[in-house]
Every structure is written in structure tokens, then in C-alpha cells.
């Protein structure tokens, strides 16, 4: 099937990035959120990011203007249902995602493919609550979406080959690279990345090193572009904790136990860059370690 119109649910950090790259690739996009303020902020951010690409001569002004014109903001979930493909990019909470898909079902076209941008939750389980598990799969973009080249495609137990090939075609149209993953907790990237971040938090928790020394060690000693604690702040400590909980509960192995310090930071509301405090304090001119 040919995909022309795509619905994106959630206009936050991931959703606006997904809408951005889809629109540049020529897809008509319905960007949905429960908040008009969030939609307005997303369109402003997409416009600013496109302007930055024009300034760097990555795209032309015409491509920028056409991309903005292809994005239609909407508060109505019914509008999302009248698309060829839906990419759900709401918060990383299974109960929220289940409710979103349930609200979508009455409005879907017979051929509409459903996908989730979840970074860790079972695709098979999400699909089982819909009327089309064979047309459901994981479509996991990396953050920031316009820059990162990888997309994980995750097949649930019922996902058919036609659905996989249709989604693979979208990834190819975006100029990105797909990695096929099996439907096990956290898939590939976060199955490897999050335990490393969690171990870095344990290293801090146990006093083996400071925030600065841990991040410097991985940047200079392992050639990582960002230190693990800096990266955790960028991702969001609440998201890191949610994924570690999925790994711990789904695989029942103590090596995935979230570090108590990570839990404490989330309880404090220190979630990283988005709240201005995490393992670093971002309220000044330069980030300052909080421990």
C-alpha cells in the first residue's frame, strides 16, 4: 500500500521531530495533542528548526515552506484516524497509550496501520488491545529525530509482512536506516544503552566517581560524544527510570534494578534538561553538576 497521509499523536519532543521529518519527506501530517498550547509550541519549534536548516543550506526555503504547509495541527483524535499510518508518540506510559489506541479505533480507515514510538513497551501487548494486531508495529525514532539516523522497527507476534514493508518504505523515504528488532523489553538500543546509564548512576551513588569524572571518563576514555549522566539528562530521567522498570519487570533479572539515586532524582522532579535540573543544574549560563 502507498502511504501518503500520516497521523502523529503527541506534539512533544519526539512528536514534533517526527512531524518535522515526515513533512520534509513529502507526507501530509496530522499532528495531534490534547493541548492547544503544546500544538502551538510544537509548530513554533518545527518552524525554528526548519529555519536553522535553511540557514545551514541543508534545505531550501521552498522545501521549508512546503513542509510547514503539510503539517495540520488538530485536537481531534478522529482526524488522526483518517490517515494511512498512525505514529503514537505520547508519554512512555502503557496506560496512556492503551487509552489513545482505544479512542482511535472507531475512527480508523480499514487499511490504517497503527504504530507506537515506544522505547520499551511490548508491541504485542499494545497491539492485542486493537482491532488490527496484524497492522500494528513499533516505530521507534531516536532523539533528536531530525538528526539521528536510526529507526527501530519492531514486529509484534501478529505483525504481517505487508505492514513491515510499508513502514520500512517510510523509513527509506525519510533517508534514515531501519534496524529490525524483536519484541522483547526495550528492543535493541535501550536494552544496551539504559543499563549503561543506570550503571553510571550506581557509580555516582556508590561514590566511585563524581558527575564530572564519570562523564569525562566515558567521553575521553570510550570516545562517547556525551557522558552517560549528561545523556540521561538529555533523554529525561523519568524516561530512563520507566525503561529500567520495564527491563527489570519484563526480564526479571536483578542486573536491571533501577539505581535508588535515579528514583530519588525522579521523585524530586529533577528530570534533566526539561526541568532545568537533573545530574546537572541548567539554570545558569553553563551546566553545573548537582553532585
Q: What is the Cα–Cα distance from 189 to 196, expressed in whole angstroms?
A: 11
Cell numbers that stand for 289 in this block = 553538576
Catalytic residue among 119, 120, 122, 198: 119
Catalytic residue among 16, 116, 140, 230: 140
Instruction: Let me know if 161 is a catalytic residue.
Output: no
Q: Is 19 helix (H, G, I), strand (E, B) or coil?
A: helix
Instruction: Let me know if 76 is a catalytic residue.
Output: no
Q: What is the Cα–Cα distance from 168 to 164, expressed in whole angstroms?
A: 6
Helices 13-24 and 36-55, axial angle in degrees (round to 10): 50
Instruction: Let me know if 249 is a catalytic residue.
Output: no
Plot region of 114 (φ>0 → left; ψ -120 to 50 → alpha; else → beta): beta
Catalytic residue among 16, 116, 122, 190: 190
Place of cell 514493508: 165
Catalytic residue among 88, 92, 152, 230: 152
Cell numbers that stand for 91 in this block = 508519554
Q: What is the Cα–Cα distance from 17 to 19, expressed in whole angstroms?
A: 5
C-beta of residue 189 within 8 angstroms of C-beta of residue 152 = yes
Instruction: Let me know if 111 is a catalytic residue.
Output: no
Q: What is the DSSP letter of 8?
A: E
Residues tagged active-site: 119, 140, 152, 190
Amino acid at each position: 500500500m502507498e502511504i501518503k497521509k500520516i497521523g502523529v499523536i503527541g506534539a512533544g519532543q519526539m512528536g514534533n521531530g517526527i512531524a518535522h521529518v515526515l513533512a520534509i519527506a513529502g507526507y501530509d501530517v496530522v499532528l495531534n495533542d490534547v493541548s492547544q498550547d503544546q500544538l502551538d509550541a510544537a509548530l513554533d519549534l518545527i518552524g525554528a528548526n526548519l529555519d536553522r536548516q535553511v540557514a545551514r543550506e541543508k534545505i531550501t526555503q521552498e522545501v521549508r515552506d512546503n513542509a510547514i504547509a503539510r503539517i495540520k495541527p488538530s485536537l481531534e483524535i478522529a482526524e488522526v484516524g483518517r490517515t494511512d499510518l498512525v505514529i503514537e508518540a505520547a508519554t512512555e506510559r502503557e496506560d496512556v497509550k492503551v487509552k489513545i489506541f482505544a479512542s482511535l479505533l472507531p475512527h480508523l480507515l480499514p487499511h490504517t496501520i497503527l504504530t507506537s514510538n515506544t522505547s520499551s513497551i511490548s508491541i504485542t501487548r499494545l497491539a492485542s488491545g486493537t482491532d488490527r494486531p496484524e497492522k500494528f508495529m513499533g516505530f521507534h525514532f531516536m532523539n533528536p529525530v531530525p538528526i539521528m539516523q536510526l529507526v527501530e522497527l519492531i514486529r509484534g507476534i501478529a505483525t504481517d509482512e505487508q505492514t513491515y514493508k510499508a513502514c520500512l518504505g517510510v523509513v527509506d523515504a525519510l533517508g534514515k536506516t531501519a534496524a529490525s528488532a524483536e519484541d522483547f523489553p526495550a528492543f535493541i538500543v535501550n536494552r544496551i544503552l539504559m543499563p549503561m546509564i543506570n550503571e553510571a548512576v550506581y557509580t555516582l551513588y556508590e561514590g566511585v566517581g563524581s558527575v564530572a569524572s564519570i562523564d569525562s571518563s566515558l567521553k575521553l576514555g570510550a570516545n562517547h560524544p556525551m557522558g552517560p549522566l549528561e545523556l540521561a539528562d538529555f533523554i529525561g530521567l523519568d524516561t530512563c527510570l520507566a525503561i529500567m522498570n520495564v527491563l527489570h519487570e519484563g526480564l526479571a533479572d536483578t542486573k536491571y534494578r533501577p539505581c535508588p539515586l535515579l528514583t530519588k532524582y525522579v521523585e524530586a522532579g529533577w528530570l534533566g534538561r526539561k526541568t532545568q535540573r537533573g545530574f546537572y543544574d541548567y539554570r545558569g549560563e553553563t551546566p553545573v553538576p548537582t553532585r
